């Protein structure tokens, strides 16, 4: 497996398709993007832990939220289904990540705010995010339709060998 091709796929998605919800993308290209994204988040979190900058991990997760959602929508559209389900996951994830950043910045008062949020409506938003993520994983794992469909032509085969 050629890591430079995986990294190029990641950079292409982030730079050129940041909010591109139109078209189709193949399974391999999507899952390799997810793999590199997880690696980037882990590395950023390790660096944040070493440098004692706790905001880096959540900021990286928030920055990768839209490209991941856009790529997931395009992946679902490759199966012939509407990719709008992704918006449920994006909105719930954005609320959780944004509030996590705000609670972190608030310090000790943020802990009280977090408890109030979690025990009032936060558990429901987390549940919605979890259910939407499981549904997205299921839909993104399905094989794409052969040939063109209503969302565009069949995506090219991505092979990082």
φ/ψ (deg, to 5) at 149: -130, -170
pLDDT at residue 50, as a whole number: 93
Q: 3-state SS of 111-145?
A: HHHHHHHHHHHHHHHHHHHHHHHHHHHHHHHCCCC
φ/ψ (deg, to 5) at 152: 140, -175
Question: Over its length of 161 residues, how does the chain's per-residue pLDDT go in tens digits?
Answer: 788 889 999 999 999 989 989 999 999 999 999 999 999 999 999 999 999 887 888 889 899 999 999 999 999 999 999 999 899 999 999 998 888 888 888 888 888 888 888 888 889 999 999 999 999 999 999 999 988 999 999 998 888 87
Give pTM, 2 decimals: 0.88
Burial class (CB in 10 A: 0-12, 13-18, 19+), 95: middle
């Amino acid at each position: 497996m050629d890591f430079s091709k995986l990294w190029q796929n990641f950079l292409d998605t982030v730079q050129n398709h940041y909010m591109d919800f139109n078209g189709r993308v193949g399974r391999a290209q999507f899952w390799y993007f997810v793999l590199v994204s997880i690696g980037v988040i882990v590395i950023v979190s390790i660096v944040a832990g070493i440098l004692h900058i706790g905001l880096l991990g959540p900021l990286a997760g928030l920055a990768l939220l839209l490209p991941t959602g856009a790529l997931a929508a395009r992946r679902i559209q490759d199966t012939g289904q509407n990719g709008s389900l992704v918006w449920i996951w994006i909105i719930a994830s954005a609320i959780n990540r944004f509030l996590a950043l705000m609670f972190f910045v608030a310090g000790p008062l943020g802990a009280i705010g977090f408890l109030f949020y979690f025990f009032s409506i936060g558990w429901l938003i987390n549940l919605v995010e979890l259910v939407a993520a499981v549904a997205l994983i299921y839909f993104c794992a399905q094989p794409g339709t052969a040939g063109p469909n209503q969302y565009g032509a069949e995506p090219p085969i991505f092979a990082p060998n």
